[in-house]
Each structure stands twice: as C-alpha cells, then as structure tokens.
Amino acid sequence: MPPSGQSTSTASQSVEDYLTVLQTERRLSDHTLKAYRRDLTKLVSFFDQRGILLWQGINSHNVRLFAASLNASGLSASSIKRTLSSGRGLANFLIRNGTLKHNPFDDVRAPKGEKRLPKTLSVDQVVSLVELDVNDPLSYRDKAMLELFYSSGLRLSELCGINLNDLDLSESMLRVRGKGSKERDLPIGKQANDAIRNWLLQRNALPIKDYQALFISKLGSRISTRNVQARVKYWAKRQGVEINVSPHMLRHSFASHVLESSGELRAVQELLGHSNISTTQIYTHLDFQHLAQVYDDAHPRAHSTTPTKVKSDTKNNDE
C-alpha cells in the first residue's frame, strides 16, 4: 500500500487546482463549486483508503468499483452520474497538464435512473401564493419576489443577484446573469412589474446597506438564497398552499404553464436560459421581440389587472 498522506496531499492539490480553473475560466457559482468539491472529495477518499496511487493508479476497473460503492451507499443514479462527471472533468484537466495519459472515466457509465418530471403548481395554486395581503416593506418585497419568480422563470441565484440597474420597468424588461455569468433579457409581466414598483416605494424604509441590490433583507444587505427559500415556504403555508413549495418549483411552473399555452418549446428554452437540455429541441436563438410576444400571448399573469390587496393587520417575520 502506498503512503496515504503523500498521495492524498498530491490528489487534494490537483482538486484545488481544478476548482480554481472552474472558478476563473468557467466562472461557476459558489454553489456549483461546492458540489464539485464534495464529489471530488469522495473520489479522493475512496482511492486513498484503498491504497490506490493517485492519479496514475486509477483505471476504469477502479472507477467502476468507485461507482459501485456510491450505488451501495444509496446515492441516487443522478447523483452518481454527477459525481462521475466531476471525476471525468478532473481527469481531463490532469491530461492537459500531463499528469494523466488517458481518462479512466471515459468507459464508465452511471446507472440509469427513472426520469422524474419536476413538480409544478397549478395556475390556481400560483395565484393563491402570489396574491398576498401586503402592509409593510417586507411583505411588499416578498410579493415582488414571488411575482417575479413566476413572471420570468428565474433561478434562485438569478433573483438574488438582480441589481436595480438590471431593470427597465418602462419596457417591462429585466436583464439577468445565469449560469456561467451568461446574460439574457427577460420580459416582466404586469403583475410583477406593479409589485416591483410598489416594493421600490417601500424599499427606503429599510436600513439600506447594499444600494445596488433590488431585493434586500430587513437588515439592508442583499437578500440571501436561504432567506428567499424561507420566505417562499412561509408564504406558501400562510396562503394555504398545501405542498412543499420552493423557488425552483415556481420556475418549473412558469415553464410548464407557458409551454402548455403556447407550444413554443424553443422560446421557453430561451426564457429559462438553457443552452442545451436533452428534453427540448436544439437551441435556436430567438430575438427579444419574439420572446416578449410569446410571453404576452401565453403567460397567465402577463395582462392581469387584479389590484394588489392591502391589509393593515398582517405581520410576518423576515426568516
């Protein structure tokens, strides 16, 4: 058995070098980098415990043993696939810098799992969720966030990252930065536009620390992803939506409802910011005017004029 400490030290440094490349060249989010780190830490630990020299001692047979151990631990097929993909990317990086001569992950496939459709809300459930009684700055903020999630199909990180100068409310348009810092322009429905305007009138009542951020916490800093998740759950329970609602569920609901109404699969793909997904047609660039027309024709809340309800006795905590 080779010396474990030296092997692990060298392997761990390779992982850190690879993560640095992912961060600087591919500009992956902190959340994605943490997932890569978890996957690669499992890989390093598995081979180190078995005395397999990293990296020259790894071959396809050993990688299959690694995949089998993940399966035996109860990891889902999708998680195993992601972990092997992380290892494959690291091996390609090591080939480029001369540490490896071939990729031992190339001949290993993850077990196939059942494809599960994402859970979505019905239109009625969405309406129940977003039509809040608002009476203070935080409830105005939360209504704007919920409306915008469903209006534009945003990822959680995209909503938290919105700056004031990303908005053009006169044109009902929003610029967001998605995965890999790719920017895209999205239409904003009337209800979301109104909710954002109302929130901006209330925003100065909070002790603002981050003047650029559209959505801030009760302490004035840019709102965190965890805070937003908590607020979505809070309002789902308060509004009587009897399922576990998440920001991603609102994104799926947006896509499902627009697709059902329009049949414009490629337009929905563009609106979501997906450059390549196996369940949709090949990516085709569509200009913003066409996307806006598809949105206006199809989105359930693009033209609704139901007034915002205001109630004076509603209280909530900024969880």
**Active-site residue, from 37, 179, 218, 266:** 179
Annotated catalytic residue, options 141, 143, 155, 301: 155
- The residue among 317 and 64 whose pLDDT is bigger is 64
**Kind of pairing between the strands at 183-187 and 309-310:** unpaired
User: Does residue 291 surpass a pLDDT of 60?
Assistant: no
Q: Is the pLDDT of residue 232 over 90?
A: yes
What tens digit of pLDDT does each residue of 139-171 get?
999 999 999 999 998 999 999 999 999 999 999
Residue 287: predicted pLDDT: 37
179 part of the active site = yes
Indicate which residue of 251, 257, 299, 301 is catalytic: 251
Out of 283, 303, 309, 311, which one is annotated catalytic? 283
Query: Token pair for residue 260?
Result: 């059902």
Order of all β-strands in the sheet with 183-187: 167-168, 173-177, 183-187
Whole-number pLDDT of residue 166: 96
Q: In CATH terms, is domain 4-96 a member of 1.10.150? A: yes
* Proportion of the chain above pLDDT 90, given as a percent: 38
pTM of the predicted model, to two decimals? Answer: 0.57
Please tell me which residue in 218, 248, 252, 266 is annotated as part of the active site. Answer: 248
Q: Does residue 283 carry a catalytic annotation?
A: yes
Q: Where in the chain is the domain with CATH 1.10.443.10?
A: 123-310
Kindly report, as residue ranges, where domains of CATH 1.10.150 are found in the chain.
Answer: 4-96
CATH superfamily of 123-310: Intergrase catalytic core (1.10.443.10)
Q: Which pLDDT value is given to residue 164?
A: 97
Question: For residues 48 and 8, is the Cβ–Cβ distance under 8 A?
Answer: yes
Overall size of the chain counted in residues: 319
Does residue 251 carry a catalytic annotation? yes
Helix (H, G, I), strand (E, B) or coil at 184: strand
Structural tokens at position 304: 């609704």
257 is catalytic: no
SS3 168: strand
Q: Out of 37, 119, 274, 290, which one is annotated catalytic?
A: 274
How far, rounded to the nearest angstrom, does the alpha carbon of residue 213 sit from its chain's CA centroid?
A: 18
Taking only the tens place, the pLDDT of each residue in 9-22 is 677 888 898 999 88
